[in-house]
Amino acid sequence: MADRKQATVEPPGAAPIGVPNALLVLLEARAPLEGLALLAAWPWLARMPRGDGRPVLLAPGYGASEASMQALFRYLGWLGYDMHHWGLGRNRGKVAPYVRALRERVRGLRSERGGAAVTLIGWSLGGVVVREVARDAPEAVREVITLGTPVVGGPKYTRVGALFARRENVDLDQIEQLAHERNLRPIQCPLTCIYSKSDGIVSWRASIDRYNPQARHVHVPGSHLGMGFNPLVWRVIARTLGGKPAS
C-alpha cells in the first residue's frame, strides 16, 4: 500500500519536496523592499502592453484580504483591463466553498461581459482556488496565472501546513492525495506558474505543474509575501496578458 501511495501522489518527474528552510523564512522580511522597488520600476512598468478590456479576477492568498492585491488590481486596471476582486473577503482556507462560489461568479462575469472568458490570477492558496475553478468551468476561464501557488501537496509543503492542519482539523497526507487526484483531470486553458526558488513559505518545487503540458513556468527572484507587489512579477503578468510572455 505504501508503494502504491508513493507512486500515485508524486507527479511524473517530481523531485523530492520538503518545506522551505529557516534561512528562506528569514528572507521573507525583504517583502517590504520589493514593494518599494515598484517606485524605481515604474518607468518600465508603464511601458508594458496595454490591456484589451478583458475581465481579470484576482484571488488572495491564505489569511490575506483583497487589500493585499489592491496595488496589482489598480495597475492592471490602469493598463486597461476590466478588474474584479474575488468578492469572498479574507481567504480563510475554505477551498471547496470558495471554488463553488467563485465558479458561479466567473460564469456570471462571462455572461455579463457578452461571453468574454475571464482571466484568473491567484496568489498562493488563491491560485489553488482559481486552478480548480478553471478545471470545473473551462468555458468561462480564458487563462490562469498563479503566484507562488502549491500545485503539489496542497499545504503540505508549505511553512504554514502544520498550522493549517491544526486549525482546520485536516490530514495533510490526505489533502496531498486529493490534490493529486484532482490534478489528474487536466486544466484546459493556458497556465502560467510564477515561482521563486527563494520562496520562504511555499516550496518552489511544489509550484511546478507537471500535470498540464501547456503550463509555463517563470522563475522570479523574491519572497513569497512580496509576490503581489514585486515589480518583476508585475512585468511577467503584464506581458503574459499582453501576449508577450517573458521567459
Reply yes or no on whether the pLDDT at 2 is more than 50: no
- Percent of the chain scored above 90 by pLDDT? 88
pLDDT of 4 reads: 33
CA 208 – CA 219 distance, rounded (Å): 10
pLDDT of 5 reads: 34
CB count, 10 Å around CB of 170?
Answer: 16
pLDDT of 246 reads: 58
pTM: 0.91
pLDDT of 12 reads: 46
Least confident residue range of 9-13, 112-116, 118-122, 175-179? 9-13
Reply yes or no on whether the pLDDT at 229 is more than 80: yes
Question: 31-57, pLDDT tens digit by residue?
Answer: 999 999 999 999 999 999 999 999 999
pLDDT of 202 reads: 97
Mean pLDDT for 127-151 is: 98
- Percent of the chain scored above 70 by pLDDT? 92
CA 12 – CA 107 distance, rounded (Å): 32
Question: 154-200, pLDDT tens digit by residue?
Answer: 999 999 999 889 988 899 999 999 999 999 999 999 999 999 999 99
Mean pLDDT for 3-19 is: 52
pLDDT of 16 reads: 66
Question: 57-79, pLDDT tens digit by residue?
Answer: 999 999 999 999 999 999 999 99
Reply yes or no on whether the pLDDT at 228 is more than 80: yes
Q: How far is CA 127 from CA 1, 17, 58, 86, in A?
A: 31, 19, 9, 12
Contacts of 99 (CB under 8 A, 6+ apart): 129, 132, 133, 136
Pick the CATH number of 22-241 from 3.40.50.1820, 3.40.50.1110, 3.40.50.720, 3.90.1150.10: 3.40.50.1820
Higher pLDDT pick, 72 / 2: 72
Q: What is the DSSP string of 164-178?
A: HHHHHT--HHHHHHH
Question: 192-227, pLDDT tens digit by residue?
Answer: 999 999 999 999 999 999 999 999 999 999 999 999
